[in-house]
């Protein structure tokens, strides 16, 4: 069976949906950002602060390449993982890539209580979200499946993914 890989902007539900999927399918759960933090022994926010986004993306690509070899896994990526084609290629080798989407206002609401979002530490976060979404849209659209999480619970999203995954997993 191919892995299920969740991509999408921060605040679209990747973490919660991936937990539900891994439980329902009895797959291992792999969170790319958590793996980076364990491997580097530093938080994502600190990597951004100390080394910048470019260095973070290099680290992320190495971790994704390694993790994409897993079997029977739900892999939750960071929101910018799709910015490098090599990441998409590695994740698609053994996985069905699912992109979760939501409106900018919903994303802001879902992420407003979390200080671990280095890209949103700006004066006008809604504008930043809109800019990033527009820039990343062509990358997100490379997913095998796109799912709008706007008016759905994480459980509903997970169930929708399972139905679609069964149709494209071979």
Q: How much is the pLDDT for 110?
A: 86
Residue among 136, 144, 161 nearest 82 (CA): 136
Q: How much is the pLDDT for 54?
A: 92
- 170 residues of the chain, pLDDT tens digit each: 799 999 999 899 999 999 999 999 999 999 999 999 999 999 988 998 899 989 999 999 999 999 999 999 999 998 899 999 999 999 999 999 999 999 999 998 888 776 665 556 677 889 999 999 999 999 999 999 999 999 999 999 999 999 988 765 43
Q: How much is the pLDDT for 170?
A: 39
Q: How much is the pLDDT for 120?
A: 62
Number of domains in the chain: 1
Is the four-CA dihedral 84, 67, 159, 169 of positive or negative sign? positive
Q: How much is the pLDDT for 137?
A: 96
pTM of the model: 0.90
Tokens of 34: 């958590």
CATH code: domain of residue 49:
3.40.50.300
Tokens of 68: 């994409």
Question: Structural domain of residue 122, as residue ranges?
Answer: 3-168
Q: How much is the pLDDT for 72?
A: 95
DSSP strand pairing (145-148 vs 95-101): parallel
Q: How much is the pLDDT for 124?
A: 85
Q: How much is the pLDDT for 142?
A: 96
């Amino acid at each position: 069976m191919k892995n299920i890989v969740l991509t999408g902007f921060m605040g679209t539900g990747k973490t919660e949906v991936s937990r539900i999927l891994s439980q329902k399918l009895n797959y291992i759960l792999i969170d790319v950002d958590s793996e980076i933090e364990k491997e580097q022994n530093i938080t994502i926010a600190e990597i951004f602060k100390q080394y910048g986004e470019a260095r973070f993306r290099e680290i992320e690509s190495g971790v994704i390449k390694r993790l994409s070899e897993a079997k029977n896994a739900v892999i939750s990526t960071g929101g910018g993982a799709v910015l490098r084609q090599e990441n998409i290629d590695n994740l698609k080798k053994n996985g069905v890539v699912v992109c979760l989407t939501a409106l900018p206002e919903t994303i802001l609401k879902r992420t407003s209580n979390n200080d671990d979002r280095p890209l949103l530490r700006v004066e006008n976060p809604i504008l930043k979200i809109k800019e990033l979404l527009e820039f990343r849209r062509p990358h997100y659209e490379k997913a095998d499946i796109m799912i709008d999480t706007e008016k759905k619970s994480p459980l509903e999203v997970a169930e929708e993914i399972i139905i679609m995954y069964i149709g494209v997993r071979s």
